[in-house]
Chain A
Amino acid sequence: MIFSFDLLMNAIVSGILIGGFYAAMASGVSLSFGILDIVNIAHPAFIILGSYAAYMMNHDFGLDPILTSIIMLPAFYALGAGIYQIYYVAFEKRGQESLRGLAFFFGLLFITEVTLVLYFGVDYRDVDASYIGPTLHLANIDIPLRIAVPCLVSLLLIAALQLLLVRSFIGRAIMAVAQDQLALRLMAVNPIRIKRIAFAISIATASIAGAFLIIIQPVEPSVGRDYIGRIFAICVLGGMGSLPGTVIAAMLIGVVESLTSTFYGPSWAPAVSFGFLLLTLAVRPAGLLGR
């Protein structure tokens, strides 16, 4: 193969853009798994749910998918709060989260997926928006807007989340709940309530990530499975619970995947994230920006 500088630059740029989108998907897991220690492997299923919400509003009313996802935030927040309540009562309180809690989320993954299959069928669905289609050309680099727009909004979303975590009282309480629940209780804060809020926020991000997903690619109910390994790999690589780390890791994995599929063929790309995951676990389990 003739090595081409343009090809390399294009692969790197599209990897960074896709990485921005991965970061949106992984930020929710970074909150739930990284900070709260809740291994929510059903997260991709909620992302797909977000995709279908965006699809329905776009298809029936012509609403913009990203706008829809912002409108849907309260619904996803409520869903997350409800799920945490069940999880808390059934597993955390009894101290059974490690085995049965995991099985619970795995069951939720299938329930969500099959319900979508039964309702929408297994056809691929997509959405219409003005930024799907056109491509910017900067020098010799192509920037497809359908990936650039989600990437930008995703970075905004994560910046807002980070601001919330670092600056607001609730955010600091969320960070504290991971470290010392007793101390939090002594500050007259109810750790269960804080965890519920944090988990609800993590599910709410799935609404936005879902809209991004359906903008970038057509979606069918089981597409989320392809992302489970990738999302958790990003989360672990970035350092548990660190949002800046998540962004860096997401872009790193995006770039390496993009280079792999450009130079070795797309069929090898899925193995990249796993390679990173194993490498991280073996060499530095704390991740890039882990404490």
Chain B
Amino acid sequence: MRTLPFLVISLVVAGLVFAGALAVGNDYIFFAGYVVLQYVVLSTAWNILGGYCGYVNFGTGAFFALGAYSTVAIYNLIGKSELPHVIPIPVLMLVGGIVSGIVGFGMGYLTLRLRGAFFSIATLALAVVLETLIVNWDYVGGSRGAYILRPENAPLIGSYVRYLFLTMLLLAVGSLVIARLIERSRLGYGMATIRDDELAAEASGVPTLRVKLIATTISGALMGMAGAPFPYYIGYLQPDSTFALDYAINAIAMPLIGGTSIWIGPLIGAILLDSLQQLITVTISSAVNLLIVGCLLVAFVILAPNGIVGLFQKYFRHKDDDFVGRRAVSLDEPGAVVPSDSSPESPA
């Protein structure tokens, strides 16, 4: 399918989702749905670097928080000037995306020339340092946190949370389209070769550093965009919870549970896992919900390395002649990539 029809179909589906949510008539569905959509964006963004390139980013929380704090900074800036007080969310998303994208690029530039593990560790540390900076920056609230007043209503669609939901829905569509576009472009094939064998990719002329930097920047920017409306959603932003590793575990678990090699994987993972979490948070407790995410993640990476998409492909392989589907299976198949030092256990 070409990109344009895909975009149209996605928009129609998004429209149906919004209409369906309106038909329920209860604002809770928007509050819960917003979080699900936010995770669709975060896990799709994570997957662009993690799933396509094979570089694990533990700093989802950091990029997300950067977007959120850009909004706080703009909010404070405008609150002190004569400008109109309500800033359109898309503008905030754009700013948050640019800030996170720049940080992603910088991080990548410093660490991506080294082995993959160093990048992962650096992203872990990035969260700590950015948090330190925010805690010491009084303008955006410091360790006390920042309050954002959510407007009561948005024009045309009623309550403000519906407006937030709608913008996040559009961002989710946008990020899925971007992910799918990358997947089918030269860039995406470059990423796949890096994931499978970076040395071979380099040898066959893939500009590995440039491809990785593009991936990090896009991925970071999308995470920042997902974070930008968050202060308006939550009302009170506090560094500890905004920079939390909880975002990272979710953003990693969702693509790995759904399937990392194709755009629909993170979507399936995010919808399933976050709906489950919403349910558990309401019925049991929010601590249990992290336990379940952890257990599911471990279970899936051990038992079903290609996620739910992989399980489906296994059953429907004979019907599935789609090129991307076949590529995804054959490259990720156990035993397809065997490093020289992992031959079976020999008797001592």
A residues in contact (CB < 8 Å) with B: 33, 37, 39, 41, 86, 90-96, 98-104, 106-111, 113-115, 117-118, 181-182, 185, 188-193, 225-226, 228-229, 232-233, 236, 267-268, 270-271, 273-275, 277-278, 281-282, 285
B10 beta carbon closer than 8 Å to chain A: no
Q: What are 6 A-B interface contacts by the 8 Å CB criterion?
A: A92-B342, A95-B342, A103-B301, A106-B58, A106-B248, A273-B128
Q: Given A94-B334, A107-B295, A190-B345, 17 other A-B contacts at CB below 8 A?
A: A37-B117, A39-B117, A41-B124, A94-B342, A95-B337, A99-B50, A111-B298, A115-B291, A190-B346, A229-B127, A232-B121, A232-B125, A267-B136, A270-B132, A274-B126, A274-B128, A277-B122
Chain B residues whose C-beta falls within 8 Å of the C-beta of A99 in the assembled complex: 50, 54, 56, 195, 260
Report if A285-B118 is in contact (Cβ < 8 Å); known contacts: A108-B294, A111-B298, A115-B291.
yes
Complex CA gap A71/B136 in Å reads 43
Q: Among A90, A111, A190, which residue has its beta carbon within 8 angstroms of that of B295?
A: A111
B262 beta carbon closer than 8 Å to chain A: no
Contact A114 B287 (CB under 8 A): yes
Contact B301 A39 (CB under 8 A): no
Chain B residues whose C-beta falls within 8 Å of the C-beta of A37 in the assembled complex: 117
B98 beta carbon closer than 8 Å to chain A: no
Q: Residue on A with the closest CB to B106?
A: A278
B205 beta carbon closer than 8 Å to chain A: no
* Interface pick from B77-85, B108-116, B158-166: B108-116
B264 beta carbon closer than 8 Å to chain A: no
A99, A103, A185, A228: which has the most chain B beta carbons within 10 Å?
A: A99
Chain B residues whose C-beta falls within 8 Å of the C-beta of A96 in the assembled complex: 305, 334, 337
Chain B residues whose C-beta falls within 8 Å of the C-beta of A271 in the assembled complex: 128-129, 132-133
* Interface pick from B19-27, B37-45, B249-257: B249-257
Contact A273 B125 (CB under 8 A): yes
B72 beta carbon closer than 8 Å to chain A: no
Contact A278 B297 (CB under 8 A): no
Complex CA gap A86/B298 in Å reads 11
Q: Residue on A with the closest CB to B111?
A: A281
Contact A107 B260 (CB under 8 A): no
Q: Residue on A with the closest CB to B248?
A: A106
Chain A residues whose C-beta falls within 8 Å of the C-beta of B131 in the assembled complex: 270
Chain B residues whose C-beta falls within 8 Å of the C-beta of A277 in the assembled complex: 121-122, 125
Chain A residues whose C-beta falls within 8 Å of the C-beta of B136 in the assembled complex: 267-268
- Interface band, chain B: 35 or more
Complex CA gap A86/B256 in Å reads 18
Secondary structure dominating the interface of A: helix
Contact B256 A103 (CB under 8 A): yes
B155 beta carbon closer than 8 Å to chain A: no
Complex CA gap A42/B342 in Å reads 23
Q: Residue on B with the closest CB to A228?
A: B124
Secondary structure dominating the interface of B: helix
Write the nearest CB–CB distance from B140 to chain A, whole angstroms.
14
Report if A102-B56 is in contact (Cβ < 8 Å); known contacts: A94-B305, A107-B297.
yes
From 260 to 280 in chain B, residues with beta carbon under 8 angstroms from any chain A beta carbon are 260
Report if A111-B301 is in contact (Cβ < 8 Å); known contacts: A106-B58, A281-B110, A281-B122.
no
B143 beta carbon closer than 8 Å to chain A: yes
Contact A281 B301 (CB under 8 A): no
Complex CA gap A185/B348 in Å reads 8
Write the nearest CB–CB distance from A86 to chain B, whole angstroms.
7
Contact B114 A281 (CB under 8 A): yes
Chain B residues whose C-beta falls within 8 Å of the C-beta of A278 in the assembled complex: 110-111, 122, 125
Complex CA gap A236/B110 in Å reads 15
Complex CA gap A39/B117 in Å reads 7
Contact B294 A190 (CB under 8 A): no
Chain A residues whose C-beta falls within 8 Å of the C-beta of B128 in the assembled complex: 226, 229, 270-271, 273-274
From 70 to 125 in chain B, residues with beta carbon under 8 angstroms from any chain A beta carbon are 110-111, 114, 116-118, 120-122, 124-125
B288 beta carbon closer than 8 Å to chain A: yes
Contact B294 A111 (CB under 8 A): yes
B344 beta carbon closer than 8 Å to chain A: yes
Chain B residues whose C-beta falls within 8 Å of the C-beta of A103 in the assembled complex: 56, 252-253, 256, 297, 301
Chain A residues whose C-beta falls within 8 Å of the C-beta of B345 in the assembled complex: 190, 192
Chain A residues whose C-beta falls within 8 Å of the C-beta of B126 in the assembled complex: 274
B335 beta carbon closer than 8 Å to chain A: yes
Chain B residues whose C-beta falls within 8 Å of the C-beta of A109 in the assembled complex: 294
Contact A281 B118 (CB under 8 A): yes
Contact A39 B120 (CB under 8 A): yes
Complex CA gap A94/B337 in Å reads 7
Complex CA gap A271/B305 in Å reads 36
Chain A residues whose C-beta falls within 8 Å of the C-beta of B114 in the assembled complex: 281, 285
Chain A residues whose C-beta falls within 8 Å of the C-beta of B347 in the assembled complex: 190
Q: Residue on B with the closest CB to A94?
A: B334
Q: Among B125, B132, B346, which residue has its beta carbon within 8 angstroms of that of A267?
A: B132
Complex CA gap A291/B89 in Å reads 51
B182 beta carbon closer than 8 Å to chain A: no
Chain B residues whose C-beta falls within 8 Å of the C-beta of A107 in the assembled complex: 249, 253, 293-295, 297-298, 301
